[in-house]
Amino acid sequence: MDIRTTCLGVLVMGPASGYEIRKAFEAGPFSHFAEGGFSAIYPALGKLTEEALVTCTVETQEKKPDKKIYELTKDGRKHLIAALSAKMPGEDKFKSDFLFTLFFAEEMPRDFVTEAIDARIEWYRNKVEQLKACEGNPSKGRHFVRLFGIDVYQTEHDFLVRHRQDFINLTENPGKNDIPASARAAE
Amino acid sequence: MDIRTTCLGVLVMGPASGYEIRKAFEAGPFSHFAEGGFSAIYPALGKLTEEALVTCTVETQEKKPDKKIYELTKDGRKHLIAALSAKMPGEDKFKSDFLFTLFFAEEMPRDFVTEAIDARIEWYRNKVEQLKACEGNPSKGRHFVRLFGIDVYQTEHDFLVRHRQDFINLTENPGKNDIPASARAAE
DNA sequence: TTGACATATATCAGATTGATATATTTTCTA
DNA sequence: TAGAAAATATATCAATCTGATATATGTCAA
């Protein structure tokens, strides 16, 4: 799914500036399954405006850059639903430097692994809390997608809590980060 | 984490060609949390060879392109561990066109949503089965990361089974894909 | 024997990321 | 209360990565 379609999706929630769309990806309702930075969003909004799938209203602000509010047009809405229905959604993409690192836990410094896992446990705990807290009166699709997120984050959290010590036990370097295992074998 | 580091990681498992590295991302032990296509892998291997982090041995094959076997050097191994330990791993990236679509379930055709969910349930079932099957004698890091994957896929599977009907009930178009909800309100 | 799939490498246009620039206001903290 | 940090707001650019395509051959099933 390209960034233009994703932007249209965010705009279904209501008119927004590029900055606000970014926030929706970073911390908002879309943050668990979509992403995009400014350098992708701004050009995308430009093209969508050209194609009349959104309108752009410039709100002049004193002593701040003008705020450009983008709003979905009827055509834009149709286009979004058409794009989503065009073919079955492709596979999810999950990329985790954290798991990649743990894959090599046996070669990693013990302190590093401990810190990484503890930080991640806390991060997941936070995510679950955040998602549980955001009640309000969302669309029902949004509601169920949120429940999905809670389930997954909770599972990941629980797994790490359950296997924290297992991972730490794999590491070979209790604090002596710079002595390779080969040298230590002589001890 | 850039593709060069990821390639080094794959090569810890043993020497491999670019094609084989790709398979490790697509269906192998790294497929759940890393990715990369040919057009990223081949240039990356070129650079790694220049930097002497891997060696390249050309295996001449009759009536097939030469197979280039890449092997991790001592330097490469050090470099990998150093790169992984350099800083705490960043946030996981999860991108799901599937969830993005379900977010708008209320606007989507019923048949489409049903098919998409059923396909996904089957996909998850398969993934869990696959991961459970791949026993063998892997490194312990690899083993625990695999358990993580099983837990997560199982959770996602179960969620969809549990909420399949909820999502389908949200949709407004039992088979009449092209009649917008607004027009149907008059019925 | 035809079509699909696997082996194997490579390139290229286009999309995206991450870093950086600019400028002001708000909020926290020492 | 002064100064630092973070939030608001848009924009660009080099570097990287994706997806599509090209090239050849082998293998297996219908």
pLDDT tens for each residue of A35-64: 999 999 999 999 999 999 999 999 887 767
Instruction: Name the residue of chain B whose CA is nearest to A102's CA.
Output: B141
Residue B75: CB less than 7 A from any atom in strand C: no
Cβ atoms of B124 and B160 within 8 Å: the answer is yes
Q: Which nucleotide is nearest to A45 (CA to C1')?
A: D10
User: What is chain A's mean pLDDT, rounded?
Assistant: 91
d(C-alpha A49, C-alpha A64), whole Å: 23
d(C-alpha A99, C-alpha B34), whole Å: 9
Which tokens belong to A114? Answer: 């401990």
> How far does the CA of residue B50 sit from the closest CA of chain A (Å)?
24
> pTM here?
0.91
Cβ atoms of A27 and A68 within 8 Å: the answer is no
Facing B155 at nearest CB: one of A99, A152, A170: A152
d(C-alpha B68, C-alpha A99), whole Å: 28
Which tokens belong to B119? Answer: 């396909």
CB-based contact B95 A34, cutoff 8 Å? yes
Residue B47: CB less than 7 A from any atom in strand C: no
Residues of chain B with pLDDT under 50: 175-187
CB-based contact B103 A142, cutoff 8 Å? yes
d(C-alpha A123, C-alpha B168), whole Å: 32
A81: pLDDT strictly greater than 60:
yes
pLDDT of residue A65: 74
Quote the DSSP letter at residue A63.
Answer: T
Question: Which residues of chain B have a CB within 8 Å of the CB of A96?
Answer: 33-34, 89, 92-93
What's the pLDDT tens digit per position in B113-139?
Answer: 999 999 999 999 999 999 998 877 789
Please report how the helices A140-170 and A110-133 are oriented relative to each other, as an axis angle in degrees rounded to 10.
160
Q: Which nucleotide is nearest to B93 (CA to C1')?
A: C17
Cβ atoms of A54 and A72 within 8 Å: the answer is yes
CB-based contact A99 B142, cutoff 8 Å? no
Cβ atoms of A21 and A38 within 8 Å: the answer is no
